Amino acid sequence: MQLQHLWLFSIVWLFLAVVQPTANAAEQLRVYVGTYTRGGESQGIYACELDLSTGALTNLRVATETVNPSFLAIHPNRKFLYSVSEVETSDGKRGGGVAAFEIDASNGALRLLNKQSSGGAGPCHLVTDQQGKCVLVANYGAGSVASLPIGNDGRLSEAASVILHAGSSVNPRRQTAPHAHSINVDASNRFAFAADLGTDKIMIYRLDSQAGTLQDNDPAFATLNPGAGPRHFAFHPSGKFAYAINELQSTVTAFGFDPQRGALERIETVSTLPTDFSGSNTTAEVQVHPSGKFLYGSNRGHDSLAIFAIDAETGKLTPQGHESTQGETPRNFGVDPTGNFVLAANQKTSTVVVFRVDPGSGRLSPAGQSIEVPSPVCVKFMALQ
């Protein structure tokens, strides 16, 4: 009987030893923060861990030193991370850069693999396609988009496509030329969508991920209200709707999405601001909650996150209020994959603040957690391996 008890104890101990690391990993996410280094305080890309039970951010450190990594993208296999280098010239040549890094699974440190030209000046946003075959980048300064194939080792090849946008719009200060501000891929991995602030258009491209190329689509674009200034773009999890946040007019435009043609059809445009706000404001980021029930948009000036409920049938938005980001100039924010927390990056006050999400209403409440990161711009989550 004693031997039987000892055998059972050994089996239980072995089971706990095996599952415990997985359980711990599931309770945390790694968070990477892209920054501006031009002020001299930031060193590059930062990393920390988010506790999914408390919302605490811990173990902040520099993952790698690099110049102006203002936006980040994590490869689907979680082995590589890509960042823009938001500069006007790179390696002595006019145009910005894109950097590839290998992720150290044990501590999140980033090792530079290689750099390539982004195909234009001032790259400000990038993504990987759904299969991890290429990086797509938007160049604000040049008003262009580019696609860079990814090798099996995570390294980037030279751009396979560089497409220069054309046109202008009504704002005499910000819209005299094209300014590509973001690029995103639909769930089918067939189409890419570039929000161009300067032309008031969402440009639509066919994506060949195997070749790493972008090609013209029919329809070629969707239009926004004159002077809107579309900046970022997000799909609904259902694949039926998409949303553009418009920087210059502080609005969000809802679209119906045709996944066969890649076409966008405008549904409505709503304000991100309270009706009694009269100050200066520009918007930045837009994201849909993983549940598909809520949408969030960041206000810079009002310094808040606008909260909307999404109608599952029509895609229309109903305002649910605003939550102060407890800092100035929320450039970007992230909704963690579990949908429990939102992390807001306050660029001017150099803080990343954690908010808890009410699953019923989508409203936010401070979780009492924040960290200081110099000039934070972008927040990206990664499951621990």
What is the CATH number for 207? 2.130.10.10
Task: Flag whether 344 is in a domain.
Answer: no
* The pLDDT value given to residue 307: 98
- Asked whether 163 and 143 are in contact (CB, 8 A), the reply is no
- Asked whether 180 and 140 are in contact (CB, 8 A), the reply is yes
C-alpha distances (whole Å) from 195 to each of 8, 161, 315 are 60, 17, 19
* Residue ranges in the chain whose pLDDT is less than 70: 1-26, 89-93, 385
Domain assignment of residue 166, given as a range:
66-271
C-alpha distances (whole Å) from 380 to each of 147, 178, 227 are 21, 27, 30
C-alpha distances (whole Å) from 19 to each of 13, 49, 53 are 10, 20, 18
Domain count across the chain: 1
Find the angle CA(328)-CA(369)-CA(231) to the nearest 5 degrees: 40
Task: Flag whether 194 is in a domain.
Answer: yes
Rg from Cα positions in the chain: 21
Task: Flag whether 331 is in a domain.
Answer: no
Q: What is the pLDDT of residues 222-246, one digit of tens each?
A: 999 999 999 999 999 999 999 999 9
Tell me the two tokens of residue 203: 């440009």
Task: Flag whether 154 is in a domain.
Answer: yes
Task: Flag whether 186 is in a domain.
Answer: yes
C-alpha distances (whole Å) from 243 to each of 11, 124, 287, 356 are 52, 19, 8, 23
* H or E stretch covering 199: none
Task: Flag whether 264 is in a domain.
Answer: yes
DSSP state of 273: S
Please report, in angstroms and rounded to a whole number, the separation of the first and last CA atoms in the chain. 40
Task: Flag whether 123 is in a domain.
Answer: yes
Burial class (CB in 10 A: 0-12, 13-18, 19+), 49: middle
* The pLDDT value given to residue 9: 40
* H or E stretch covering 169: none
Task: Flag whether 325 is in a domain.
Answer: no
pTM: predicted TM-score of the whole model, two decimal places: 0.92
* The pLDDT value given to residue 6: 38
